Amino acid sequence: MSLLSKNRSVVLFAVISVLLIVLFFIDTVLGSVLIPFSDVLEVLLGKGENAVYKTIILEFRIPKAIVAVLAGSALSVSGLQMQTVFRNPLAGPYVLGISSGASLGVAIVVLGVSASGFSSLSGLGTSFSLAAAAWIGAFVVLMVVLAVSLRVKDIMTILIMGMMFGSAASALVSVLQFFSSESMLKAFVIWTMGSLSSVAGMQLWVFGVAVLIGLVLSILSIPTLNVMQLGEGYAKTLGMNLTLARVMVFVSTSLLAGSVTAFCGPIGFIGIAVPHISRLMFRTASHSVLIPSVMLTGSVTLLLCDILAQLPGMESTLPLNSVTSLVGIPVVIYVVFRNRKFAGV
Amino acid sequence: MSQSLLNIKELSIGYESQRALYPEITEQAHSAELIALVGRNGVGKSTLLRSLAGLQHPLEGSIEVDGVNLNSISRSEKARLISFVPSEQVKIQNLSIRSFVGLARFPYAGWGGGLSKHDWSIVDSALSSVGISNLSARDISLVSDGERHRAMIAFAIAQDTRVILLDEPTAFLDLPNKFETVRLLSQIASENSKTVIYSTHDLQGAIHEADSIWMMLPDGMVSGSPEDLALSESFQKLLVNTYVTFDMDTGTFKNKPSGSEQVYVTGEGLQLFWTVKMLQRIGYSVTTTDSASKRIVCSKTSSSLMWDLEVDGEPKLQFSTLKNLAERLKNNVKKCVS
């Protein structure tokens, strides 16, 4: 049986990896500018001569596909970590209020400035200042959650604190929205729709390093995650340093979810849905399998969502956040009905 | 007697910044000893177990295992001396029983959390010692409560500690599983020279299987072998202000005092035994003097059992089941009352 499941995992990993490569390629082929398949291949092989195609592919589409891979992994791993630590299948990357903190940061920059009269301030829309603001917002929420989790031992209290803090941040965002100008409001709303295409050059490096550190932390947490899913009692009986383990997971989750929110906006439902897709496929509760599998599955899912958002064959694109929600929500509904505890069967 | 393995000195239990929940406890437990921890709901059994397991800090006092004070050692050293099986069942989807028990080796694993062949052989022998080797690949959320609880006991065995604590291990189990679990705990204690302490409300089972009973009375702990506690009439202290009584003659608990009304019974063998049981259940006391106003004669034909009821001043009645006889007697009592 264990040999069988091992073989099953190997086959699944191979299939998903191939799918990842195929979708990565499709994502670079598709876009609002139609580039013939053969030209894409030539540019990728370094032989292309059309400078416009070269710029579009190397400076826009490939970075965007890389961002999709990184953001998909990051959101899915942080969602898995939260589901394990809070022992709740509906937890996601944003339960600690990280996304709301990031939104508040962005809102203060975009809307707060306009409310205070500096509406002519230039460069507000540059994504780097938005990312910095979002990061600071996420970081402040993280500090509060950490401070609470060092003092409070009960995991439900930490969860409630995170949710309340997130709601408070959202309320402040609404206040800022109410007092802001129309154009600023539009800039903010566009940020909340999510986009993978505003990360390039230096920002891509910053984003990549932040996500990689978060992923390494989550890999280091594999043994403690396996124990934490049994609950606090078991973790303590087994002599685990629960506070340290939680701090590691929270820092990792904030780096992952916070960076994605900062650079791409709040992308919904990937983080909740993908861990369930992985569990259904791999049928395991072991994080040494789940962590790599949600990384791959998350990348594949976000690439797929981005391809759908391109509306292949049309010139306009859909907001990414809507697509991820429409893809993720059916999965979450399926999980809720499949779970005997929730469905009440 | 062998040297004590678990030494509890002046232990005061309760929650931080509050008064102690219970008078100070000083007790010793020995290796190969199965101890049943009993007491009324809310008296602090779980709190005591959780304090011993290190899930919450005792307010004062010390706990020593094998001469080592638990306060002076690290978390993971403690995890190799004392293990705890909570009452809450583990129902994690997609977690195989073998993987679950494998997590018990966490205190012995290195940084990466990987298990050695030696670890897995300990896991497999723990599974076989509780008789669920055949279920090792099964999903722990899909097996029966009894099987799941065995997996949880196997977890504690695989953790390989001198002391195993269990919080109400028999609470959700059916009767055969209850007996089997307590027998298993007794076997674990004696074969591996461990101290096993389990909390329970099944005093009857504890009297039959446990080497010692720790009785948490509201004013302090009373401990001893089940028989010593029976002879010193200690069980009665647990039953103050209840309708339950401990019958010294049979070593069983009854939930009604013997009735004042007497009934005379004649008969033989099992038929007599169960007739007397029924009469005691509905509140009669059985007498051997035939001057009583009610008399029952047990008899049998070749194919069935019969009971004759004679009541002074009433015609004699015959019954073919104890149920009908009991109903008739109960109605009689009601009539007398009204």
**A240–B88 C-beta distance less than 8 A:** no
Give the pLDDT of residue A114.
58
User: Looking at A42-51, A294-303, B75-84, B93-102, which range is the least confident one?
Assistant: A42-51
CA A97 to centroid of chain Cα atoms: 14
Please choose, from the candidates B300, B259, B293, the residue with its C-alpha nearest in 3D space to the C-alpha of residue B276: B259
Give the pLDDT of residue B65.
93
Chain B residues near residue A236 by CB distance under 8 angstroms:
53-55
Chain B nearest-CA residue for A228: B103
Gap between the Cα atoms of A208 and A243, Å rounded = 28
Angular region, B241: left φ>0, alpha ψ -120 to 50, beta rest: left
Chain B residues near residue A242 by CB distance under 8 angstroms:
none
Gap between the Cα atoms of B132 and B147, Å rounded = 7
Give the pLDDT of residue A344.
46
What does each C-alpha distance from A122 to A129, A179, A184, A233 come to in angstroms?
11, 19, 12, 55
The residue written with tokens 């894409």 in the block is A40
Give the pLDDT of residue A340.
59
Confidence of residue A167 (pLDDT cuts 50, 70, 90): confident
The residue written with tokens 């998909």 in the block is A72
What mean pLDDT do residues A67-96 have? 90
Q: Which residue has the higher pLDDT, A122 or B322?
A: B322
**B55–A238 C-beta distance less than 8 A:** no
Query: How many Cα neighbours within 13 Å face the side chain of B7?
Result: 14
For B82-97, the pLDDT digits (tens) are 999 998 888 898 999 9
Is the ipTM value over 0.90, yes or no?
no
Gap between the Cα atoms of A21 and A27, Å rounded = 10
The shortest C-alpha distance from A150 to chain B (Å) reads 16
**B103–A239 C-beta distance less than 8 A:** no
Interface test with A, best of B106, B115, B141 (most A CBs within 10 A): B106
Chain A residues near residue B159 by CB distance under 8 angstroms:
237-238
Contacts of B228 (CB under 8 A, 6+ apart): none
What mean pLDDT do residues B178-184 have? 90
Cβ pairs A/B, distance under 8 A: 72
Q: What percent of chain B has pLDDT over 70?
A: 95
Compute how many other C-beta atoms are within 10 angstroms of the C-beta atom of residue A130: 23
Could you tell me the maximum CA-CA distance found in chain B, to the nearest angstrom? Answer: 87
pLDDT at A121 over 80: no
Which residue type does B196 have? Answer: V
Give the pLDDT of residue B284.
85
The shortest C-alpha distance from A121 to chain B (Å) reads 51
Confidence of residue A23 (pLDDT cuts 50, 70, 90): very high
pLDDT at B185 over 60: yes
| Token pair listed for B66 | 């094998």
Q: What percent of chain A has pLDDT over 90?
A: 37
> Residue B219 carries which DSSP code?
T
**A236–B92 C-beta distance less than 8 A:** no
The shortest C-alpha distance from A190 to chain B (Å) reads 39
Chain A residues near residue B96 by CB distance under 8 angstroms:
2
Please choose, from the candidates A165, A147, A136, the residue with its C-alpha nearest in 3D space to the C-alpha of residue A259: A136
Chain A nearest-CA residue for B53: A237
Confidence of residue B337 (pLDDT cuts 50, 70, 90): very low
User: Looking at A9-18, A245-254, B256-265, which range is the least confident one?
Assistant: B256-265
The residue written with tokens 């509306």 in the block is A311
User: Which positions 82-121 of B are in contact with A (Cβ < 8 Å)?
Assistant: 83-84, 86, 88, 90, 92-96, 98-100, 103-104, 106-107, 109, 111-113
**B54–A238 C-beta distance less than 8 A:** no
Confidence of residue A125 (pLDDT cuts 50, 70, 90): very low
**B113–A2 C-beta distance less than 8 A:** no
| Token pair listed for A127 | 């994504």
Q: Does B288 touch chain A (CB under 8 A)?
A: no
For A228-272, the pLDDT digits (tens) are 999 888 999 999 998 899 999 999 998 899 899 888 988 989 999
Gap between the Cα atoms of B279 and B168, Å rounded = 33
Q: Does B79 touch chain A (CB under 8 A)?
A: yes
Chain B nearest-CA residue for A286: B95
Please choose, from the candidates A167, A41, A36, the residue with its C-alpha nearest in 3D space to the C-alpha of residue A104: A167
Question: 3-state DSSP call for residue A86?
Answer: coil
Question: 3-state DSSP call for residue A232?
Answer: helix
Gap between the Cα atoms of A231 and A59, Å rounded = 46
The residue written with tokens 């998350």 in the block is A298
Highest mean pLDDT among A78-82, A89-93, A191-195: A78-82
Compute how many other C-beta atoms are within 10 angstroms of the C-beta atom of residue B329: 21
Chain B residues near residue A227 by CB distance under 8 angstroms:
103, 106
Backbone angles phi, psi at A313, to 5 degrees: 90, -5
| Token pair listed for A324 | 């991820």
Q: Does A152 touch chain B (CB under 8 A)?
A: no
Give the pLDDT of residue A118.
46
What does each C-alpha distance from B43 to A25, B13, B17, B48, B59 come to in angstroms?
66, 11, 19, 10, 16
A75 in Cβ contact with A82 (< 8 Å): no
> Residue B43 carries which DSSP code?
S
Give the pLDDT of residue B333.
54
Give the pLDDT of residue A122.
41
CATH H-level, domain A2-343: superfamily: ABC transporter involved in vitamin B12 uptake, BtuC (1.10.3470.10)
Gap between the Cα atoms of B51 and B165, Å rounded = 11
> Residue B94 carries which DSSP code?
T
Beta bridge partners of B307: B298, B319
Chain B nearest-CA residue for A233: B55
What does each C-alpha distance from B68 to B7, B64, B74, B78 come to in angstroms?
9, 5, 11, 10
The shortest C-alpha distance from A86 to chain B (Å) reads 13
Q: Give the closest of A226, A231, A233 to B113, CB-based.
A: A226
pLDDT at B297 over 70: yes
CA torsion B230-B234-B239-B240 (nearest 10°) is 150
Question: 3-state DSSP call for residue A341?
Answer: helix
Alpha helices in chain B (DSSP H): 45-53, 75-79, 97-102, 117-129, 145-158, 175-191, 203-209, 226-231, 235-238, 269-281, 322-337
Chain A residues near residue B106 by CB distance under 8 angstroms:
223, 227, 238-240
Q: What percent of chain A has pLDDT over 70?
A: 92
**A236–B53 C-beta distance less than 8 A:** yes
The shortest C-alpha distance from B226 to chain A (Å) reads 30
pTM: 0.84
pLDDT at A124 over 60: no
Confidence of residue A4 (pLDDT cuts 50, 70, 90): low
| Token pair listed for B205 | 């089972």
Give the pLDDT of residue A15.
96
Domains along chain B with CATH numbers? 4-243 (3.40.50.300), 262-337 (3.30.160)
For B44-68, the pLDDT digits (tens) are 899 999 999 988 888 888 999 998 9
